[in-house]
Amino acid sequence: MVDFRCPVGAREVTALRIKIKAPIRSADRELVDSFLVSAVATLLVIRIYLEASGYPQLGGEGLHIAHVLWGGLGMLVAIVLLLVFLASTTRHVAAVVGGFGFGAFIDELGKFLTSDNNYFFKPTAALVYVVFVALFLLSREIRNFRTLTPEENLVNAVELSKELAVSNIGEVDRENALRLLDRSDQANPLVPALRERFLAAQPGPVRPSRLSRARDSVASGYARLVGNKWFRRVIAAIFIVEGVSFVLSTVASAALVAGTLLGIAEARVAFDEATAGSTLASWIQTVAGIAAGALVVRGVILLWRSRARAYQAFELAILIDLMLYLPFAFLSEGFVTFIDVLIDLGLLATLRYMRSQEQRLLATAAGS
């Protein structure tokens, strides 16, 4: 509590009172994810389209309408949607539209970092990647550093109660609101009143859209694919091959160093060629590669004892690759490295699903 007081004779009159409180966090975890997915997808589509079409320019006669302007328009539309409309679906639409705008905006980052407006400034890819990773980690940390407080649960339940006023609440939102109220301060008179209203509400008929039906179809197909034992064997084979490759490369590197120390001329020449021009970035990539490779080997060894622990080791290897190796790969290879990012993300999602299935099987076995 901060008080600003102005003296009037012998008295002090409170002129302004400002109460500083922590902001209320949203219980909706999908909004930031939707924003980031939309932004990354927009950036990739723009880069692929421009590469395929020969980088055309919109405009003429001295005018050039850069797509950073479309990005600004997308972010403006998202802000206006949030300021003008109160419907819960507006936030999801604003997240997607805002992500489109941010993706189009940050794609031209190189132009604003260079004196010659160089769109092809090579470090741009690495900077963009770091921005997205930082946004993802920051949003996850804000959501997960502690559970929602009773006050935050109640405020989120109040947010969902807007749907009661227009008789448009669905079954999922109603159940979510009741869970939030269970975690709220039961002494607050709003809690029993809202619980009564939510329990009395009749959820509207569920009419899934084409998009939701398509999403559910893709999700079920993915679950069937990942649950197939042959698919699991293919994933295991991929990491076994990577582990063998890492062991062989490690042995070769050790032999090269040993030959150099023993004074073998061919080994000295090969060692000089391998280490020429080494920088801090290459050393970080080397250390990251060794750490990831060691985790892959550990995972391969664990496959015969505990698939869940093996999958966890593979996950850590991929995370090291995403966080430490690939950012520097963007510096040398540019946006083409996004292909490796997509492959890593696909493997990461697959491994996490497979690990959750293993944990479910272990829990079922323990309970029987």
Q: pLDDT per residue over 277-318, tens digit each? A: 556 667 777 788 888 888 888 988 888 888 888 888 898 888
Residues 137, 244: one domain? no
Closest C-alpha to 329, from 311, 343, 346 = 343
CB 288 within 8 A of CB 321: yes
pLDDT at 129: 85
Which of 89, 117, 144 corresponds to the end of one domain?
144
Residues 245, 356: one domain? yes
Which of 120, 144, 168 corresponds to the end of one domain?
144
Residues 122, 238: one domain? no
- Whether 86 is covered by a domain: the verdict is yes
Residue 297: count other Cβ atoms within 10 Å of its Cβ: 20
The model's pLDDT over 95-109, given as tens digits with 9 standing for 90+, comes to 999 999 999 999 888
**30 — alpha (psi -120 to 50), left (phi > 0) or beta?**
alpha
First-residue to last-residue Cα distance in the chain: 56
Distance CA 101, CA 93 (A): 12
Whether the pLDDT of residue 368 is over 70: the answer is no
In which band, very low, low, confident or very high, does the pLDDT at 75 lie, cut at 50, 70 and 90?
Answer: very high
Whether the pLDDT of residue 10 is over 50: the answer is no
Give, for 67, the enclosing helix (H) or strand (E).
helix 67-84
- Whether 16 is covered by a domain: the verdict is no
Distance CA 49, CA 46 (A): 5
In 3-state terms, the chain is what percent helix, strand and coil (to 5)?
75, 5, 20
- Whether 189 is covered by a domain: the verdict is no
Three-class DSSP category at 352: helix
Residues 128, 229: one domain? no
Domain of residue 76 covers 30-55+65-144
CB 42 within 8 A of CB 108: no
- Whether 45 is covered by a domain: the verdict is yes
More confident residue, 115 or 65: 115
Residues 346, 229: one domain? yes
For every residue of 221-268, DSSP letters joined together read HHHHHHHSHHHHHHHHHHHHHHHHHHHHHHHHHHHHHHHHHTT-HHHH
CA distances from 356 to 146, 226, 236, 298, 353 (A): 23, 11, 16, 19, 5
Residues 242, 348: one domain? yes
The model's pLDDT over 36-71, given as tens digits with 9 standing for 90+, comes to 888 888 888 888 888 888 877 766 566 667 788 889
Place of tokens 């405009």: 59
- Whether 311 is covered by a domain: the verdict is yes
What is the total count of domains within the chain? Answer: 2
CB 31 within 8 A of CB 91: yes
Distance CA 80, CA 88 (A): 14
Letter for the amino acid at 168? N
For every residue of 172-219, DSSP letters joined together read HHHHHHHHHHHTS-TTSTHHHHHHHHHHH--PPP----HHHHHHHHHH
Mean pLDDT for the chain overall? 79
Which of 113, 144, 175 corresponds to the end of one domain?
144
CB 314 within 8 A of CB 116: no
- Whether 206 is covered by a domain: the verdict is no
CB 119 within 8 A of CB 112: no
Whether the pLDDT of residue 196 is over 80: the answer is yes
Distance CA 91, CA 78 (A): 8
Residues 237, 135: one domain? no
Residues 140, 252: one domain? no
At 341, list the tokens.
Answer: 């990012």
Contacts of 148 (CB under 8 A, 6+ apart): 25, 27, 156, 180, 183
Residues 138, 236: one domain? no
Q: Provide, rounded to the nearest whole percent, the portion of the chain with pLDDT above 70.
A: 82
CB 12 within 8 A of CB 5: yes
- Whether 198 is covered by a domain: the verdict is no
Residues 246, 337: one domain? yes
pTM of the full structure: 0.67
Closest C-alpha to 179, from 147, 221, 220 = 147
In which band, very low, low, confident or very high, does the pLDDT at 72 lie, cut at 50, 70 and 90?
Answer: very high
Letter for the amino acid at 67? H
Letter for the amino acid at 75? M
In which band, very low, low, confident or very high, does the pLDDT at 210 lie, cut at 50, 70 and 90?
Answer: low
Residues 136, 236: one domain? no
